[in-house]
């Protein structure tokens, strides 16, 4: 396997209204970073009907006949969904071609989406997903798979929740934690955000400590070629960060997600999920 195949942007494509934006953001990242793009459509398995599900006072022969009919219907359904998925991938491919990606890889897989992504993890440089899948487009919360995927993978994940708008200003939610350092390191080493305005934001109760954290991180970011604006906020972290994002017209949030250790995992995980639920712009999560 070539080195390029081990270092690609992977976009999850489904029938949701956000899929077009997922393709757009994935193409933008692939162009900025200079790596291949793969478009993935994953078809979840459904459990086949069991004879025990066919309750009622019907004879054994009738149950076997109905089970056979249901099995045939499920096979037809899977074939239709597979064909539908191909059309989704073709539509996404046309979209990324318009963005300058001429040779995106198209991929269809079967099974659990989380398991599929874990199997592909070593080849992923950045994963791009919609905040909700096609089965949850009318929901206000996160899609079923998002939390399990974020917990399972140790790769940068961009969660898309709006139509594409090329980022000019990003915000790094920074508190000096291990997860925040991971996010900072990503900004320092990735070409994705070079030349952009980076708002380095810290919500604090300790001004002296915050000043030192912001000064050190700001110096490192400037040396890496980013234009840095620092901000020290007070109060509820989630509310302060989201308010700042709106006031400063930030187009993407970068932050650490989850953490090591049970307490850290619980606290940071809860904060991550709150931000995902309430943010109106894409979030790049690192852990």
Q: Has residue 25 got a pLDDT over 90? A: yes
User: Are residues 31 and 150 located together in one domain of the fold?
Assistant: yes
- The residue from 160, 177, 192 where one domain ends is 160
Q: Has residue 4 got a pLDDT over 50? A: no
38 lies in a domain? yes
Model-level pTM? 0.86
> Tell me: the pLDDT tens digits for 35-75?
999 999 998 866 555 544 555 555 556 778 788 888 888 77
For residues 220-250, one letter each, b for 16 or more C-beta atoms within 10 angstroms of the residue's C-beta and e for the rest, the string is: bbeebebebebbebeeebbebbbebbeeeeb
> What is the domain-level CATH number for residue 88?
3.40.50.620
204 near 176, Cβ under 8 Å?
A: no
**pLDDT value at position 18?**
95
Q: Has residue 166 got a pLDDT over 90? A: yes
Q: How many domains does the structure of the chain reveal?
A: 2
58 lies in a domain? no
- Higher-confidence position of 98 and 4: 98
The tokens describing 183, both together, are 């996010």
User: Are residues 120 and 257 located together in one domain of the fold?
Assistant: no
- The residue from 160, 182, 199 where one domain ends is 160
75 lies in a domain? no
**pLDDT value at position 69?**
83
HSE of 18 in the Cβ direction (CA atoms, 13 Å)? 25
- The residue from 160, 188, 205 where one domain ends is 160
Mean pLDDT within 251-277: 74
63 lies in a domain? no
| % residues pLDDT > 70 (the chain) | 84
Q: Which domain holds residue 232?
A: 169-281
User: Are residues 35 and 136 located together in one domain of the fold?
Assistant: yes
62 lies in a domain? no
**pLDDT value at position 15?**
86
**pLDDT value at position 199?**
98
User: Are residues 208 and 109 located together in one domain of the fold?
Assistant: no
> Tell me: the pLDDT tens digits for 109-137?
999 999 999 999 999 999 999 997 655 44
User: Are residues 32 and 86 located together in one domain of the fold?
Assistant: yes
User: Are residues 216 and 267 located together in one domain of the fold?
Assistant: yes
User: Are residues 140 and 226 located together in one domain of the fold?
Assistant: no
User: Are residues 175 and 227 located together in one domain of the fold?
Assistant: yes
């Amino acid at each position: 396997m070539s080195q390029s195949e081990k270092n690609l942007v992977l976009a999850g494509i489904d029938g949701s209204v956000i899929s077009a934006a997922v393709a757009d953001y994935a193409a933008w990242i692939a162009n900025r970073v200079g790596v291949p793009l793969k478009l993935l459509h994953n078809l979840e398995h459904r459990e086949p009907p069991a004879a025990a599900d066919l309750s009622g006072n019907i004879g054994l022969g009738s149950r076997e006949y109905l089970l056979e009919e249901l099995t045939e219907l499920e096979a037809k359904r899977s074939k239709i969904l597979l064909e539908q998925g191909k059309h989704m991938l073709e539509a996404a491919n046309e979209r990324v071609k318009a963005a300058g990606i001429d040779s995106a890889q198209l991929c269809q897989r079967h099974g659990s989406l989380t398991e599929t992504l874990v199997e592909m993890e070593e080849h992923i440089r950045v994963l791009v997903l919609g905040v909700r899948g096609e089965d949850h487009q009318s929901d206000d919360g996160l899609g079923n798979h998002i939390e399990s995927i974020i917990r399972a993978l140790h790769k940068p994940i961009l969660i898309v929740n709006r139509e594409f708008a090329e980022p000019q200003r990003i915000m790094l939610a920074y508190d000096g934690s291990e997860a925040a350092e991971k996010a900072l390191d990503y900004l320092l080493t990735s070409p994705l955000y070079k030349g952009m305005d980076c708002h380095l934001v810290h919500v604090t109760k300790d001004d002296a400590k915050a000043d030192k954290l912001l000064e050190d991180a700001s110096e490192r970011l400037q040396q890496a070629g980013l234009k840095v604006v620092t901000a020290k906020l007070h109060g509820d972290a989630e509310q302060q960060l989201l308010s700042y994002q709106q006031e400063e017209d930030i187009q993407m949030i970068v932050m650490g997600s989850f953490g090591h250790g049970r307490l850290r995992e619980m606290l940071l995980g809860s904060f991550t999920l709150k931000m995902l639920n309430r943010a109106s712009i894409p979030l790049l999560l690192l852990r």
